[in-house]
Structure 1
């Protein structure tokens, strides 16, 4: 087989390498072309060198090109994969820092909440640019695979306004299933069969079977509470399981941001989170992790390049959806996964226009969703709160409507539990002004926002958050890695 895959945001080096090696685990794909594109020529050079080394080490005819000219990379592409982070760590730092001034403590801030909504405002104009290029220069009927957050907002914009065949992809479902299989004592994750449905980062395991035997709430609660690690790391998630009756796909830290009950009081936050790793609820945890990962990669690049000389091992193919979707579409080997698509009746008690995450099957005819799902009422209610915020956020981004943007942020569950309307109005003004370079649709609104900020009397505070850790130096990271290696 011979076709072209374009990867936008290929400078996300580690993730691009994973996608690349996964795809080349499919024997029929050895003759394809990968076109890498990114705004960072430096990062492109690094990932191109790594992928070239993989191709050479495995004696493959695979072609790899790299360019900062996105349109050129998309020319003739059958599949386009996006893993972009618009604004980089600079804008992301403001997504965390500015809301903290108003008492809003986020762990990740990339889905909803104040940070996730502004992240969407930065992404959506760029997503629509991608869609324009795909429509004009990619292969007819090209499929857009979006890995970038905020998943639902980006996918919503691409489908509704970009008019491109788009599917959103995430790995939260797989990670949650691995946890459940482990606590239930399964020998492998393949012994667990499940139906998981909802919206991205708020997806719910509504049906569980272990070797064909149904697993109920009480058994699952007992299994998690007995686990020596998860009982400490997933306290909030276990509490939601007890109250809702179903387990959430999303990590303890992520889930804490989407519910208005666990992060609204600083003294309560530490009760529900765990500081052993960022993903369990640390303030600004993903920002710290991302910063450390970038610094580590820059310093340890020679070792990454050397590791690329190893043969590709199909047995180590990851559970990221992309390679399996492409394999199913091109070879007709059926793949079952969980995909982010427009609802259109798949989940009966969520809106038709929402972007849902639910089970589907892929073959040469495309992605075929399993319809007729009804979520438990509490799960649907929680999803609805986020969907309403997502819809307003997408519409605000498309129109450049700062008033609608403020209403979207006001209706966010965690923001609404913490901040007053006056605080929200000022916070959004401050964030739009700080991120103006990445918000072209709000250019006309920035002068008035600056004027309002100069006259505002709303008080703020400099606050690091309830559970903040400092970014570790390369030396500290190296020492910790050595200690873990010695201990293990």
Structure 2
């Protein structure tokens, strides 16, 4: 039995998210007959991704109908799933988010989800996200809005509080944490089950178990971590020693939320390497499209860690699919974190929708650590939806990464001007 559904992918010109989605879509036959509508304002990038989708769709005999358009509103009527992977002038603005605070003495690890960079990602991104949400409310009110863009926690929190869309965030961070643990344990990733709860990029693994037997692997992790290379993911290990659970997902992401996060490295994102990689990937895609280069083998296999297609199949076929990790509006799922917060927990997806799995309260010290960040995220969202420079300053001043009032004022003035074209009220 096949089901017909419409998947609208906004920001389809994003090669990273687009390719992962294509790997999953075109290696399953369960979505045969479904329509994939690709949307992007960059016509050249859109054409490339649509052409690549056509090649991979044919190669996998997936039977998916592929459409493309630069008109978002034309794409949305009848949509069952709306995916978002947009970023506004991504590398240029993100680089400023990192370099301007650094100039004033603030030590960030990435400048994307926490610290001053996280604030300005929020300020410029949420107005566009709310444009999408209002269109979904009007044109396809029953659709599930799946966010893939950072800052995940703040996007899902804002939609949960101020929009009438069904929203879910998806991130592969928990699988990155599993990779680190597998290296220490000397096991393969498929041998390990992990169960996490917390904030996006700041989850804590409540359980680490051997998949085949259910054996608790925390005792073995403590034993082998003690003699493992000390230069390997040092920040996560210091937190592990202090709090007793392993944090996700990597030192650079986790470090965004902590005043001492720079101890795990403060090199920032590799913008130059990213640009070089984009050129290489574009050349490879063009070769695959025109037939001068073979399709890489991994493009014909399911992706590593992305779960959009699993969610869609669970909902369409009522299969009660287990999704290892997703970002949802809390509402008591983690009882000792604020209800009006976005949290990341395991999920079930079936025809009735998305069902967060509660792992109970977090250990009290961890909950207190996350509650500090919860206030930062809540205030940043309020600053963004109200286009308030005053609230933005307060959000900076309660952020543990910000260690100077003078720096906060200078960062705010400089980055507010840079982002001014994108900052506007959302409610």
TM-score w.r.t. structure 1 length?
0.80
Larger Rg: 1
> What is the CA distance between 1:97 and its match in structure 2?
1.7
State the partner residue of 1:480: none
User: Is the 2:157–2:342 Cα contact (8 Å) retained in structure 1?
Assistant: yes
Q: Distance in 1 between matches of 2:299 and 2:407?
A: 53
SS at match of 2:111: coil
Q: CA deviation at 1:304?
A: 4.9
Query: Residue 148 of structure 1 corresponds to which residue in structure 2?
Result: 149
Call closer, same or farther: CA 1:310–1:286 in 2, change over 3 Å: closer
1:42-121 aligned within 5 A: 42-121=44-123
Aligned counterpart, 2:245: 246
SS of residue matched to 1:350: coil
Alignment root-mean-square deviation, CA: 2.2
Instruction: Give me the whole-angstrom Cα distance separating, in 2, the residues matched to 1:304 and 1:412.
Output: 46
Per-residue deviation at 1:2? Answer: 1.3
Counterpart pick for 2:310 among 319, 324, 336: 324
The 1-side partners of 2:35 and 2:294 are apart by 18
Shift in CA distance, 351/310, structure 1 to aligned 2, threshold 3 Å: same
Deviations 1:284-329 (A, max 9, x none): 2243443333333344443453567578987544331111111111
Matched, 1:36 2:1: no
Q: Distance in 2 between matches of 1:346 and 1:58?
A: 39
What residue in structure 2 maps to residue 232 of structure 1?
231
Structure with greater proportional helix content: 1
Q: Deviation string for 1:459-484 (max 9, x for gaps)?
A: xxxxxxxxxxxxxxxxxxxxxxxxxx
Give the corresponding residue for 1:276: none
Q: 1:334 aligns with which of 291, 296, 320?
A: 320
Identify if the C-alpha distance between structure 1 residues 225 and 288 changes in structure 2 by more than 3 Å, giving closer, same or farther: farther
1:266 maps to none
Asked if the contact 1:54/1:310 (under 8 Å) is kept, the reply is no
CA distance in structure 1 between the partners assigned to 2:104 and 2:133 by the alignment: 36
| 1:399 CA displacement | 0.9
Matched, 1:176 2:177: yes
Match of 1:389 in 2: 376
Once residues 376 and 17 of structure 1 are traced to their aligned partners in structure 2, the CA distance between those partners, rounded to angstroms, is 38
Normalized against structure 2, the TM-score is what? 0.91
Alignment of 1:204-223 (within 5 A): 204-210=204-210, 211-216=213-218, 219-223=220-224
Of residues 384, 401, 405, the one that matches 1:414 is 401
Contact 1:53 1:309 in 2 (8 A): no
Q: Name the SS for the 2:401 alignment partner.
A: helix
Q: Structure 1 residues 103, 33: closer, same or farther in 2, change over 3 A?
A: same
For residues 320 and 369 of structure 1, the distance between their equivalents in structure 2, rounded to whole angstroms, comes to 17
CA distance in structure 2 between the partners assigned to 1:389 and 1:92 by the alignment: 19
SS of equivalent to 1:204? strand
Match status 1:377 vs 2:332:
no
Preserved contact between residue 127 and residue 157 of structure 1 (Cα < 8 Å)? no
Structure 1 unaligned regions, length at least 5: 264-271, 274-280, 443-488
1:191 is aligned to 191
The residue matched to 1:357 in structure 2 has which SS? strand
For residues 242-294 of structure 1, the C-alpha deviation after alignment (integer angstroms, 9 at most, x for no partner) is 1111111121112222111242xxxxxxxx44xxxxxxx35222434433333
Judge conservation of contact 1:345–1:372 (CA < 8 Å) in 2. Answer: no
Q: Helix, strand or coil for the counterpart of 1:232?
A: coil
Relative to structure 1, is the Cα distance of residues 369 and 58 closer, same or farther in structure 2, using a 3 angstrom cutoff? closer
Which residue does the alignment assign to 1:255?
254
Which residue among 266, 279, 284 is the counterpart of 1:295? 279
Distance in 2, matches of 1:248 and 1:372, equals: 15
User: Are the counterparts in 1 of residues 87 and 149 from structure 2 also a CA contact under 8 Å?
Assistant: yes
Separation in 1 of the partners of 2:318 and 2:299? Answer: 22
Query: 1:378, CA displacement in angstroms?
Result: 2.4
Kindly indicate whether the alpha-carbon contact (under 8 Å) linking 2:252 and 2:261 is maintained by their aligned counterparts in 1: no
Match of 1:213, SS state, is: coil
**Separation in structure 2 between the aligned mates of residue 315 and residue 36 of structure 1, nearest angstrom:** 21
Mapped pair 1:439 → 2:426: no
> By how many angstroms is 1:423 displaced?
2.1
Q: 2 CA distance for matches of 1:405 and 1:260?
A: 19
Asked whether the equivalents of residues 60 and 300 of structure 2 are also in contact (C-alpha less than 8 Å), the reply is: no
1:363 aligns with 2:350: yes
Alignment correspondent of 1:427: 411
Secondary structure in structure 2 of the residue aligned to 1:392: helix
Structure 1 stretch displaced more, 304-313 or 23-32: 304-313
Taking the aligned partners of 2:394 and 2:279, their CA distance within structure 1 comes to 37
- Pick closer, same or farther for the CA change 1:312–1:171 going to 2, 3 Å: closer
Shift of 1:202: 0.5
